[in-house]
């Protein structure tokens, strides 16, 4: 699971499916035909226990928004929610009781929503040019529940208007006072080992879609540092990276940092180490992310 927010939309799988649906819908596609194509093209998601429900949730919401909700899809979502199957997966992945409660509320609200007929179908959007939210090198700060500042670094910006993503690395900055640019350059990358993660570098391509609507109040840029390495959004495998690329619309750097630091109150932090300096100085050309993961094994 690329992201661990409790909202229905907070997962890589949901973002990919939902985005693909409306890309085809805005291009003039028929919702039923689109849904069939997405299910056939993304069958592998259904093989992944922690992601399979996100595919059905994304299709259900997209169909509901386009007034084309299929009864079979609705019944499938009803079964997932009312049977407790989704919560069972979250519990197995190590979610805390507060998060399980929030997830349960989110599931109920989602089901109530799609069980109520939408007045009008969402209009098709005319394709328009988009730009990335941040520029390469920007250092972002955010406040966490413990009262400290966390931080993230923008490693890359995609200039293609069809994929105007930012590659962002969350750091292990956890300071009472506002961090400096020097703090960012010397910082470690946040490795996730809460839930089902095993030392996963929290480095993600973030899509701009929801940033200004839902996340802009969480982050502030305090300046820039130099980035020498170049990363491409088209490299979905990350052949020469020290991390495996993932993609999402949910800007959950602050959530990931909070969950990781809270986890470390009762569980050891990751034994491996990855630094911002490694990612910005071009070390990615000589190593691969799977080689990095082998270091601690």
Q: What is the pLDDT of residues 41-72, one digit of tens each?
A: 888 888 888 889 999 999 999 999 999 999 99
- Name the pTM for this structure: 0.60
Displacement of CA 60 from its chain's centroid (Å): 20
Q: How far apart are CA 29 and CA 128, in angstroms?
A: 17
Which residues, at least 6 apart from 44, have a Cβ–Cβ distance to it below 8 Å?
none
State the pLDDT confidence band at 239, using cuts at 50, 70 and 90: confident
Helix runs in the chain, H state only: 12-26, 31-41, 52-65, 71-82, 85-92, 97-114, 181-185, 253-263, 276-280, 289-294
State the pLDDT confidence band at 161, using cuts at 50, 70 and 90: confident
Q: How far apart are CA 43 and CA 272, in angstroms?
A: 33
How does 172-190 read in b/e, with b if 16+ C-beta sit within 10 Å? bbbeeeebeeebbeebbbb
Give the mean model confidence (pLDDT) for residues 132-146. Answer: 96
What rounded mean pLDDT belongs to the chain?
A: 89
CA quadruple 23, 28, 30, 33: dihedral positive or negative?
negative
pLDDT at 130 over 90: no
């Amino acid at each position: 699971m690329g992201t661990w927010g409790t909202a229905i939309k907070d997962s890589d799988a949901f973002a990919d499916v939902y985005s693909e649906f409306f890309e085809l819908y805005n291009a003039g596609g028929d919702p039923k035909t689109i849904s069939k194509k997405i299910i056939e093209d993304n069958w592998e998601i259904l093989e992944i226990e922690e992601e399979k429900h996100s595919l059905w949730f994304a299709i259900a919401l997209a169909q509901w928004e386009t007034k084309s909700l299929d009864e079979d899809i609705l019944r499938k979502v009803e079964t997932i929610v009312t049977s407790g199957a989704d919560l069972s997966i979250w519990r197995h992945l190590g979610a805390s009781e507060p998060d399980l409660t929030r997830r349960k509320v989110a599931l109920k609200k989602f089901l109530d929503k799609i069980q109520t007929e939408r007045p009008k179908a969402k209009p098709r959007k005319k394709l328009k040019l988009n730009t990335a939210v941040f520029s390469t090198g920007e250092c972002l700060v955010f406040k966490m529940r413990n009262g400290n500042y966390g931080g993230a670094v923008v490693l890359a910006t995609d200039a293609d208007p069809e994929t105007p993503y930012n590659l962002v690395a969350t750091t292990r900055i956890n300071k009472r006072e506002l961090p400096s640019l020097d703090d960012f350059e010397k910082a470690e990358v946040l490795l996730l080992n809460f839930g089902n993660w095993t030392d996963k570098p929290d480095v993600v391509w973030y899509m701009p879609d929801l940033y200004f609507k839902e996340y802009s109040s969480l982050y502030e840029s305090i300046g820039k540092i130099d980035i020498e390495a170049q990363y491409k959004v088209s490299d979905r495998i990350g052949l020469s990276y020290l991390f495996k690329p993932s993609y999402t619309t949910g800007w959950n750097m602050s959530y990931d940092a909070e969950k990781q630091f809270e986890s470390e109150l009762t569980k050891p932090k990751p034994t491996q180490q990855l630094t911002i300096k490694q990612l910005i100085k071009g070390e990615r050309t000589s190593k691969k992310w799977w080689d990095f993961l082998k270091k601690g094994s």
